[in-house]
Amino acid sequence: MPAHATSEAAPAKINLALHVTGQRADGYHLLDSIVAFASHGDRLSFSPAERDSFSLAGRFGPLLSDKAEGKDGNLVLKARDLLREALAAQGRAAGPVAIELQKNLPVASGIGGGSADAAATLRGLLRFWQASLSSDRLADIALKLGADVPMCLESRPLRARGIGEQIDMLDTMPDFALVLANPLKAVSTPDIFRRLTHKDHPPIDEPPANGDREAWIRFLAGQRNDLEVPARALLPEIAEISDMLRTAGARLVRMSGSGATCFGLFDDRAHADAAERQLARLRPDWYFQATETAGKTIG
């Protein structure tokens, strides 16, 4: 059957809590993280073509490479090539495709933009090529692309441990209204890890067994992001933007991943939308986005 144009969302990945619990002999850090995915993010489009092509659009598109090679090579193209290689090994055709990445999320900002794009590429191209792979083979490809890609492949509430490959679904996590905020300044993830004074923190507490939102907020408030202290030392704007979120009425404020994106949890989407407008007026040169996580409220 001929391929038909399709598109795939690449939701922002938010570390609601992130504990550094150890370090492997190969240098990889062991993490324990509570992860949710926002309704806002990037978007990938896939169209039939005579030859492969890749284009970038959106606010942050000009900041990305449109090549697969090199240290900063685009993960979308690396995902395309690895998936095509895996399908070819099974004798499956994977013809030319025109890919467009609508880059709405800040680059290198701690909300999994590149990893989400890679995961969306895998999902979208399997549909575009009308193909399938075993879940284990797909997970192998995802991990080869980066430690965050397997969880972005799921794009639903989860707890990730190890280097990110040990994933447990959190079906009781409720949805949260929130504002993502970023001063549009990069922080170096390796520098942050180098500044960690302890790399053997205790794991995250056991999450609530039901979907009560207040119980989850209390639970999250008792956790932390172990990367936030060193990140604040490198980029003082993280403290400033966190204070702005609190002043705007956020009930819980924390940095996501290695930063510099912070999030504030609000009572509902209306309050988050109002906070976004207020914050954008104060700092129109920064990034603010009201959104909500896709959770599941039970009981």
Catalytic positions are: 13, 148
10-45 as b/e: b if 16+ CB within 10 A:
bbbbbbbbbbbbeeeeeeebbbbbbbbbbebbbbbb
Q: Is 283 exposed, middle or buried (0-12, 13-18, 19+ CB in 10 A)?
A: middle
Chain-centroid distance, C-alpha 141? 17
In one letter, which amino acid is 153?
L
Instruction: Look up residue 93 and give its two tokens.
Output: 């055709």
Burial of residue 175, with CB atoms counted within 10 A of its CB: 0-12 exposed, 13-18 middle, 19 or more buried: middle
Half-sphere exposure of 128 (CA within 13 A, CB side): 25
What is the distance between the alpha carbons of residues 154 and 120, in angstroms, rounded to a whole number? Answer: 10
Q: How far is CA 167 from CA 98, 102, 297, in A?
A: 32, 28, 20
Backbone angles phi, psi at 271, to 5 degrees: -70, -35
Burial class of residue 162 (count of CB atoms within 10 Å of its CB; 0-12, 13-18, 19+) = middle
